[in-house]
Amino acid sequence: MKIMPCPLNGPRNISEFACSGEVAEMPEPNRTGDEDWADFIWMSNNTAGVVREWWCHVPTNYWFIAERDTVTDEILKTYPAGKVFTARRDFQGRDEGP
């Protein structure tokens, strides 16, 4: 089976992992129009080549980032999400609440 090198658990069978799609910048919900929000939700680059994606090791619920080539099916690099997301991000205007 294909092996995914997990930054936390080491090399594991890829069937233990779930892919959650490309790492994309989320726009601020309260300052984004419907059209841009729809774009963020539905549209995809669907790149034929190297992509940077969210993956989760399901048994340990550990989320990380993997760089992968979608043409050759090679996993190039994996690292903890903290390498990319270094600061907490707060969105404005959340006081309305559910």
Partner 1 sequence: MPWGLLKYGLGRRYPAGPDFPARPEFKPRYDVVIIGGGGHGLATAYYLAKDWGITNVCVLEKGYLAGGNTGRNTAVIRSNYITPESVRFYKESVDLFNDLSGELGYNILYSQRGQLTLAHSDATIRTFRMRAEVGKLVGTRIEMVDRRQIREIVPCLDMDENARQPILAGLWHRDGATGRHDAVAWGYAARAAEYGVELHQRTEVTGLEVERGRIAAVETNRGRVRGGHVIQAVAGMSSVVAAMAGIRLPIRSYPLQAMVTQPVKPFLDPLVSSSGLHTYVSQSSRGELVIGGGSDPYELYSTRSTLELKESLIAHTLELFPFLANLRLMRQWAGITDMTPDYSPIMGESPVRNYWLDAGWGTWGFKATPVSGKRMAETIAREKAPEILHPFRLDRFKTFDLANEMGATAASH
| Binding residues for partner 1 (CB under 8 A) | 1-2, 15, 18-19, 21, 34-35, 38-39, 42-48, 51, 70-73
Nearest residue to 67 (alpha-carbon basis) of 86, 43, 49, 85: 49
Please, what is the minimum distance in Å from the beta carbon of residue 19 to partner 1?
4
What's 63's DSSP letter? E
Closer to partner 1 by CB, 42 or 92: give it.
42
Q: Which residues contact 68 (CB under 8 A, 6 or more apart)?
A: 50, 51, 53, 74, 75, 76
Cα distance between residue 80 and residue 60, in whole Å: 14
Nearest residue to 60 (alpha-carbon basis) of 1, 8, 3: 8
Please, what is the minimum distance in Å from the beta carbon of residue 86 to partner 1?
27
Closer to partner 1 by CB, 30 or 70: give it.
70
Please, what is the minimum distance in Å from the beta carbon of residue 22 to partner 1?
9
Closer to partner 1 by CB, 6 or 51: give it.
51
Please, what is the minimum distance in Å from the beta carbon of residue 16 to partner 1?
11
